[in-house]
Structure 1
Amino acid sequence: MNKSTEQTLWGLLENITENLKGKRLADVFRFVSFCPSETYGPHKHLRIEINYVKKGNCILHLDDESVTFREGEIMIITSSINHLFEAGSEGTTLMQLEFLPEVFSYFNFKSEGGTAAFIPVTLFSEGNRLIKIVNNVCIMRVVQRIVNELELKSQYYQYLVVMYYAELLILIYRYMDESYLPICTNDSLKKAIAYIRFNYQSEITMNDVAEYAGISERYLRRLFSQYLNLSPLDYLNQMRINKAVELLRNTEMSVKEVCYLCGFQSPQYFSRIFKQQMGLSPREVAK
C-alpha cells in the first residue's frame, strides 16, 4: 500500500467515525441472558437490532406474525418495527448489537458507471423488517468482532469497527442475494421461498411448500421454472448445499454432522448432490 492510498484509507475511516452522531458506533453491544419464558417489550426504536442466539431458543413477536429462533440463528430487526421478545422454555442467551442506520449510510457502493448501485439503508426497510439468518458463521463472527472491539476499546478500535460494519453489510447483502428473491417476483413464489428458507433444515416436502403458499404443486413447479429456471427441489438442495459449504469451511463439524444439520436425511444422497453442484466432494471442500 503506497502512502497516498494509506492516507486515503485513514482519512475515510476518520471521516466516518467523526461524522457519526455523537461518535456512537453502537448503542447496545453485549451478551445478555433471559430467564425461561421471560418477555421484553413490546417496543420499537430507530436502531437496527442484530441478535445472535448463543444458547436456547426464543420467539420474536411482530404485529402480525411470530418467528421462532433457535441456537446459532440470527435475527436482524429493522428500525421502527414494533416487536416483543419472548425467551424459550429453558431460557435464552443472546449476543446483541444495536446501532443507528446512519452507520451503514457511509458505505455507498458504486457501479462501474459511477452511479450508486444501491443505497445500503434501503436493505433494512418495511419489506425486510425481519431477516432470519441460519447457519451463517461469517456473519456471526463479524458481529462478535464488533462487540469485542467495542468492549475492549483497544487502540484504533473505532477504525476496525467501521471496517467490520462494511464487511457485515456486504455479508448480509450476499445472504440476501442467495436466499431472497427480487422485490418484483410473484407473491406465491415469495411465500414458497420463505417457507424453504426458514425450514430447509427439516424434512420438508414440495407438498408442504405448496400448501404454505396456497397453490398446487404443479403451479409451484411452474413458478420456479418461470422465475428461477429450476425446480423447487433443486432450489431447496441448492440452499442446503450453500449452507453446507459454509459450515464445512468455517467450523470443525464432520461431514455427517453437516449433512443432517442442513436437512439431508442420508450422507450418501448429501454427497451425491454436493458433488453435482460443487464439482467436489464434501471432504475435499472441508480440507
Structure 2
Amino acid sequence: MNKITEYSLWEVLEQIKSSLKSKRLADVFRFTSFYPSETYGPHKHMRIEINYVKKGNCILHIDKESINFHEGDIMIISPNVEHLFEAGVNGTILMQLEFLPEIFSHLHSNIRIDTEAMPTPSFLFSKENRLIKIVNNINVIRTVQCIINELEHKGSHYQYLVVMYYAELLIFLYRYMHETYLSICTNDLLRKAICYIQHNYQTDINVNDIAGHASISERYLRKLFSQNLNLSPLDYLNQIRINKSIELLKNTEKSVKEVCFLCGFQSPQYFSRIFKQQIGLSPREIAKSQSPLF
C-alpha cells in the first residue's frame, strides 16, 4: 500500500469521525443483566439497537407481535420503532450496542464501492425491516464485541478502529440480508415466509408450518419460491441451516452433533448428507478446533 492510499484511508476515517454529532461513536455499549421476567419499556429512540443474548432468553414485543430470543440470538431494532423488552423466567444477560444511524450513513457516503452496489442503510433499517433477528452469526457477534471492547478500553487511536469495525458490521449485515434474499424480495407473502424461516430455522419446522404462517397453500408457497428464488421451500430452509452450521463448525468447539441440532436438523445422518450435497465436503472436514468466542 503506498503513502497516498494510506493517507486517503486516514482522511476518510477522520472525516467520518469528525462529522458525527457530539463525536459519539455509541450511546450504549455494555453487558447488562435483567432479573427473571423483568420488563423495560415500551419505548423508542433514534438509535439503532443491537442486543446479543449471552445467557437466558427474552421476548421482544413490537405492536401486536411477540418475538422470542434465546441464547446466541441477535436482535437488531431499527430507529423509531416502539418496543417492549421482557426477560425470560430465568433472567437474561445481554451484550448491548446502541448508536445513531448517521454512522452507517457516513460510511455509505464516504466509502466508494467499485464492485457490487450496496443498498443504502436507510433501506436496511427501514420500517419494513423494523426488527432483524439473527441466529448463531459468529461474525456479527464478534464485530459487536470488538466495538464494545474498543469503546470501553479507549486505546490509542481507538476511534478509527471503531469506525472500521462499524464498516465491517455494516458489510456483515448486508451479507446476511443478501443471503436470506430479503433485500431482493418484493412479494409480501414470500417475504413473510422467508422471515418465518429465518427466525425459526433452528426449530423443527416444515413446509406446512411455513405456508400456514404466510396464510397460503403449500402449492402456492412452492410456486412463489420456484418463480422468485429457483428453489423449493425445503431447499431454501436447508440452505439457511447449512450456512449457519458452517459458521459454527469453523468458529466454535461445538461437535458436529451439537451443530446439527442447533441448526434445526433432527438427524445427524440427514445433516451430513445434505451438508455434503451442498458443500461437497463432510461437516467433519469443515470443522476446525478453536476456542469459543465468549
TM-score by length of 1: 0.96
Kindly report which structure 2 residues correspond to 1:155-174, keeping only aligned pairs within 5 A, or say none.
155-174=156-175
2:273 corresponds to 1:281 = no
- In the TM superposition, residue 110 of structure 1 has moved relative to its aligned partner by 4.4
The amino acid that maps onto 2:37 is S
Query: Structure 2 CA distance, aligned partners of 1:175 and 1:188?
Result: 20
Kindly report which structure 2 residues correspond to 1:12-91, keeping only aligned pairs within 5 A, or say none.
12-91=12-91
Segment of structure 1 superposing worse, 141-150 or 60-69: 60-69
RMSD between aligned alpha carbons? 1.6
> Percent same amino acid at aligned positions?
71
The amino acid that maps onto 2:90 is E
Partner of 1:122: 123
- In the TM superposition, residue 184 of structure 1 has moved relative to its aligned partner by 5.0
- CA-to-partner distance for each residue in 1:156-191, whole Å, 9 max, x for gaps? 111110000000000001001112424653222122
Partner of 2:214: 213
Residues 268 and 130 of structure 1, relative CA distance in 2, 3 Å threshold? same
- In the TM superposition, residue 120 of structure 1 has moved relative to its aligned partner by 2.1
Query: Structure 1 CA distance, aligned partners of 2:249 and 2:199?
Result: 20
- In the TM superposition, residue 118 of structure 1 has moved relative to its aligned partner by 2.7
Count of residue pairs the alignment pairs up? 286
Residues 286 and 113 of structure 1, relative CA distance in 2, 3 Å threshold? closer
The amino acid that maps onto 1:21 is K
- In the TM superposition, residue 63 of structure 1 has moved relative to its aligned partner by 1.5
Contact 1:185 1:227 in 2 (8 A): no
The amino acid that maps onto 2:280 is G
Segment of structure 1 superposing worse, 182-191 or 263-272: 182-191
Contact 1:179 1:197 in 2 (8 A): yes
Segment of structure 1 superposing worse, 2-11 or 32-41: 2-11
The amino acid that maps onto 1:138 is N
Segment of structure 1 superposing worse, 27-36 or 62-71: 62-71
User: Does the residue aligned with 1:126 lie in a helix, a strand or coil?
Assistant: coil
2:150 corresponds to 1:141 = no
- CA-to-partner distance for each residue in 1:125-163, whole Å, 9 max, x for gaps? 101100000010110010001001000001111111000
Contact 2:178 2:184 in 1 (8 A): no
2:260 corresponds to 1:256 = no
The amino acid that maps onto 1:238 is Q
User: Does the residue aligned with 1:53 lie in a helix, a strand or coil?
Assistant: strand
- In the TM superposition, residue 112 of structure 1 has moved relative to its aligned partner by 4.2
User: Does the residue aligned with 2:75 lie in a helix, a strand or coil?
Assistant: strand
- In the TM superposition, residue 113 of structure 1 has moved relative to its aligned partner by 8.7
Segment of structure 1 superposing worse, 209-218 or 81-90: 209-218
Contact 1:200 1:263 in 2 (8 A): yes
Segment of structure 1 superposing worse, 80-89 or 192-201: 192-201
The amino acid that maps onto 2:209 is D
Partner of 2:291: none
User: Does the residue aligned with 1:202 lie in a helix, a strand or coil?
Assistant: coil
Query: Structure 2 CA distance, aligned partners of 1:184 and 1:253?
Result: 33
5+ long unaligned stretches in structure 2: 289-294
User: Does the residue aligned with 1:128 lie in a helix, a strand or coil?
Assistant: coil
Query: Structure 1 CA distance, aligned partners of 2:282 and 2:60?
Result: 38
2:8 corresponds to 1:8 = yes
The amino acid that maps onto 2:158 is Y
Contact 1:53 1:71 in 2 (8 A): yes
Residues 139 and 113 of structure 1, relative CA distance in 2, 3 Å threshold? closer
Query: Structure 2 CA distance, aligned partners of 1:173 and 1:8?
Result: 24
